[in-house]
Amino acid sequence: MKGKILIVDDEESIRALLRDVLGGEHELTEADSGAALQKCLNQDEPDVVLLDVNLGDANGLELLPQVKRRWPETPVIILTGAPSEHEAVSWAVDATKRGAFNFVRKSAEFDIEKLSADVNTALEHRRQTNEARLLRRALENMSGTASPVFQSAAMRDVVRTIERVAPSDVAILIAGESGTGKEVIADLIHVLSPRSKARIIKINCAALPRELIESELFGSVKGAYTGATDRDGFFRHAEGGTLFLDEISEMPIEVQSKLLRVLQDQEVRPVGGKTSFKTNCRILTATNRKTEEAIKDGKLREDLFYRISAITVYLPPLRERREDIMPLANSFLKRFAGQANRALNGFSSSAIERITMFDWPGNVRQLQNEVQRAVLLSEGSQVDAADLSISSARTASETSTDTNYTLLEGVERNAIIQMLKETGGNKLETAKRLGIGRQTLYNKIKAYGIEA
């Protein structure tokens, strides 16, 4: 893999040799003294540093701690012309203690092939370190804490899959119920990909007006339709980055046909335009529907499904991974208590029982909203059961008596009815407390025949 290599050596012959060996594959920067290295420390961070011990005006081993403080994640390979094997071993031990990644002796039999292999090993180590850091940052953004929030085997499998496929450009479909964290997973895939320095553009296909979705996606030219203006569209906005299409099965079927052509040809033509533009963005999609049913019901084109789902990542609902509920709840509590400047010492035993026994039809989003509400309303040193709005909502086994509905549908129907009662029929507040979108709530009210 190509990398940025900083060579610090006072011998021109050594630098010339390293240029010949590494210059064709890597981007090289050179420093011929300790003073020159000091100037480099104020520049962009390299991927690997090759640092000589004897620099004429400085000792490389003494400069090593400074290099590591400035660039803690950059591997440093020490080069030395130690006169004897014994002295070389002594220096190697000292260099390792000071943070060196590896140690190479510049002897008469200077093994350039081994040095090249060591550089590649260091670059791979740097890549893995960067991926781990990005993964931790993405998970912290989700939970508000650096502690692990996934205790379930199912979600650990999801994270492992993402770590493997994110660095590629393969199309990924994220499936799962509303509120399971599909957008968070899309963010995670993006930050672990080579496109992370560019933008991720997120589009909720259900939220875009039917008559405007085509121009929003592909762009338009002035005069293409009444009120049309010159617009680039989301595909061009996401150039070099990632385009995340949420609720893909809610996209009008005729627009899905045009989307398929764009993905096949890697070209987009604005509405009313005569010129097509090449596109270069990664496509991530998500749906809260079962894809088989969406295809059968004519909500999702089968050929588009195969194009966007080279890899499918399924996010199980919270009721199927209850071991994740309290770690998530605790992480949300820590985040929101900090934001509200509240000193809360966790949840009471009665609150924990209620939280873990609830089926959470709105999944992680509903849990997050519930914890935030409880933090603001709690008056004690802990969040108690009385602080929770789910106090009178029961689990599916207690409430679902209508045999016309599946167990999941019974959970959703009864939770919606209960929350509508608690909010006095306020649909916006009901959707907010359940952690689902307002349009999704309207759809479920209609599907379940709820009077509201």
Whether residue 389 is found in the same domain as residue 432: yes
pLDDT band at 409 (very low <50, low <70, confident <90, very high): low
Lowest mean pLDDT among 34-43, 125-134, 305-314: 125-134
Q: Is residue 140 part of a domain?
A: no
342: which residues sit within 8 A by CB, 6+ positions away?
375, 378
The rounded mean pLDDT for the chain is 85
CA angle 365, 153, 348 (to 5 degrees): 55
Amino acid sitting at position 222: K
pLDDT of residue 23: 87
Whether residue 327 is found in the same domain as residue 309: no
Could you give the 3-state DSSP secondary structure of residue 180? coil
Question: Cα separation of 62 and 372, whole Å?
Answer: 51
Question: Cα separation of 320 and 177, whole Å?
Answer: 12
Q: Which residue has the higher pLDDT, 37 or 400?
A: 37
Look at residue 214 and tell me whether its pLDDT is greater than 50. yes
Whether residue 228 is found in the same domain as residue 172: yes
Q: Residues in the chain, how many?
A: 452
pLDDT of residue 146: 44
Q: Is residue 137 part of a domain?
A: no
- Residue that terminates a domain, selected from 95, 129, 163: 129
Element (H, E) at 280: none
8: which residues sit within 8 A by CB, 6+ positions away?
30, 31, 36, 37, 40, 49, 50, 51, 52, 55, 60
Look at residue 87 and tell me whether its pLDDT is greater than 60. yes
Total domains in the chain come to 3
pLDDT of residue 401: 40
pLDDT of residue 438: 79
User: Which tens digits make up the pLDDT trace of 350-364?
Assistant: 999 999 999 998 899
Q: Is residue 192 part of a domain?
A: yes
CATH of the domain at 222: 3.40.50.300
Whether residue 40 is found in the same domain as residue 178: no
Whether residue 308 is found in the same domain as residue 327: no
User: Which tens digits make up the pLDDT trace of 285-321?
Assistant: 999 999 999 999 999 999 999 999 999 999 999 999 9
Q: Which residue has the higher pLDDT, 91 or 13?
A: 13
Could you give the 3-state DSSP secondary structure of residue 96? helix
pTM of the model: 0.60
pLDDT of residue 176: 93
Look at residue 225 and tell me whether its pLDDT is greater than 80. no
Whether residue 181 is found in the same domain as residue 307: yes
Whether residue 119 is found in the same domain as residue 212: no
Residue 404 neighbours by CB distance under 10 Å = 9
Q: Is residue 138 part of a domain?
A: no
Whether residue 161 is found in the same domain as residue 123: no
pLDDT of residue 82: 65
Whether residue 262 is found in the same domain as residue 338: no
Q: If we measure between CA atoms, which residue out of 391, 410, 388 comes closest to residue 399?
A: 410
Structure token pair of residue 296: 């059968």
- Residue that terminates a domain, selected from 263, 284, 316: 316
pLDDT of residue 320: 92
Residue 199 and residue 241 in contact, taking contact as beta carbons nearer than 8 Å: yes
Question: Cα separation of 383 and 354, whole Å?
Answer: 12
Look at residue 349 and tell me whether its pLDDT is greater than 80. yes
Q: Residue 76: how many CA atoms within 13 Å on its side-chain side?
A: 27
Question: Cα separation of 414 and 439, whole Å?
Answer: 18
Q: Is residue 111 part of a domain?
A: yes
Question: Cα separation of 255 and 121, whole Å?
Answer: 47
Q: Is residue 209 part of a domain?
A: yes
| Domain around 358 | 319-447
CATH of the domain at 443: 1.10.8.60
